[in-house]
Amino acid sequence: MASNITPQGCGPNVDSLYYNLCDLSAVWGIVLEAFAAAGGVFSFVLFISLLASLPFTKDKNRKSSVALHAGFLVCTAGLFGLTFAFIVGKDFSTCASRRFLFGVLFAGCFACLLMQCVRVNILARRDSGPRAWPLCLGAVGLWLVEVVINTEWLIITVVRNPLLPLNVTAEAGRATATPCNIANQDFVMALIYVMTLILAVVVASLAIMAGKHKQWKGVGACILLTSLFSVGIWVAWIVMYVYGNERHGGPTWDDPTLAIALVANAWVFLIIYTIPEICCLTGEDEGQQSLGDDLYPNQGAGYETILKEQSVQSMFMENKAFSMDEPNQGTKHVSPYSGYTGQTRSSVYQPTELALITKALGNQPAPDPSHRDLVIPRASANSAADSGSSTPSTHSRTGNAAFPQTNGNSGNALHRTSQW
């Protein structure tokens, strides 16, 4: 009768298998459920961000790790999903999922980390990493070893256990289902291969620190911190699961212990390793862009850039300004705007339009006899011998003598005079 009482926070139609998801008296289930759901959503967002950054990653050494990051995120999301199997009650499906997927998902995460250590070790020593497909094949091979071990162990233990008696009720049969009927020590012993992978990741990440290329040591430091935190979490839950629960909490603490270990280790994977790696993928292109701007500074559109591009033209303008002082040839009129070329002024001195007009007027040369300009003719009196009059010519001769008359027999003659 006590088992049929609906706990506070759960509806009347909720199966007793899922009471830990809504029971307000069992707060650990609700808290872990919230953290697991948030971690699953965050893993999906990071996975989409990783795939979206792939076309913008130009560095081949960075791009070769994207496949391992993707597999690592898939296994991490699986850890968050497996947490719900430890929160809900026990039956055949949940117990089989616990025993099989716990080691398989952790093996996938640490296999990807180990292959990342191999890649970064090569980069730290040669600054040129291997291709992506050998690393992926290595990670899949390491992961398949744990799959085979868990499959064989699950089949052997289920077959060797006897069937339940026929008179056992459904609730009792559910609680003592065959996959759940194992000792805590056996569950831990089945994870020896995963523990070996964790120690291998620690040793390989320490080897990265001995490389000569410092730019890859940051990646090695993230992997080292992730593996050290994982070692601490695994030591804590194993000690609690094997020794602490039997002496203090009893079997009711087994499921919370394993669920907390899953959520804690999965969040360590995301915060310490995955987020910095994705930031490095997107931050690499910005560094290359700034390097390109330093190599090609004349591609900007600023005022200083325009002045740099017109340095040669400024020298030409300066030389042309000095050339205006030279006398012009002939009587060819110089336009006051002939010095304007339409080019942008620079920091070199440029004469103004008024200075050009003044200089053009002051530098007009004297007329050359070989280049005489025709002006309007004037009428003047002829000499007394030609016209019979003694009236002298009224043509003024100041500064320059009048040119001789071209026709001495006519009363009027054409005179050529200076322009000024």
Give the tens place of pLDDT for each residue, 247-286.
Answer: 776 678 888 999 999 999 999 999 999 998 888 876 644 4
Per-residue pLDDT, averaged over 318-328, amounts to: 50
Give the tens place of pLDDT for each residue, 232-246.
Answer: 999 999 999 998 877
Whole-number pLDDT of residue 249 = 65
Least confident of 2-6, 43-47, 150-154: 2-6
Distances (CA, A) of 393 to 297, 389, 405: 77, 11, 12
Task: Return the ∠ at Cα 224 (arms to 223 and 227), rounded to 5°.
Answer: 85
Check whether 149 has a pLDDT greater than 80: yes
- Nearest-angstrom CA–CA distance, 259 and 36: 9
What CATH number is given for 17-284 in this structure? 1.20.1070.10
Instruction: Please provide residue 315's backbone torsions phi and psi, each rounded to the nearest 5 degrees.
Output: -65, -40
What 3-state DSSP class applies to 261?
Answer: helix
Give the tens place of pLDDT for each residue, 368-399.
Answer: 555 444 445 555 544 444 444 444 444 444 44
Closest to 162 in 3D by CA, of 189, 183, 181: 181
Instruction: Please provide residue 235's backbone torsions phi and psi, each rounded to the nearest 5 degrees.
Output: -65, -40
Check whether 409 has a pLDDT greater than 70: no
**Average pLDDT value for the chain:** 74
Per-residue pLDDT, averaged over 295-322, amounts to: 48
Give the tens place of pLDDT for each residue, 344-358.
Answer: 555 455 667 676 676
Give the tens place of pLDDT for each residue, 54-88.
Answer: 888 777 778 888 899 999 999 999 999 999 999 98
Amino acid identity at 201: V
Q: Confidence class of residue 411 from pLDDT cuts 50, 70 and 90? A: very low
Give the tens place of pLDDT for each residue, 20-48.
Answer: 888 887 788 889 999 999 999 999 999 99
416 vs 103 pLDDT, higher one? 103
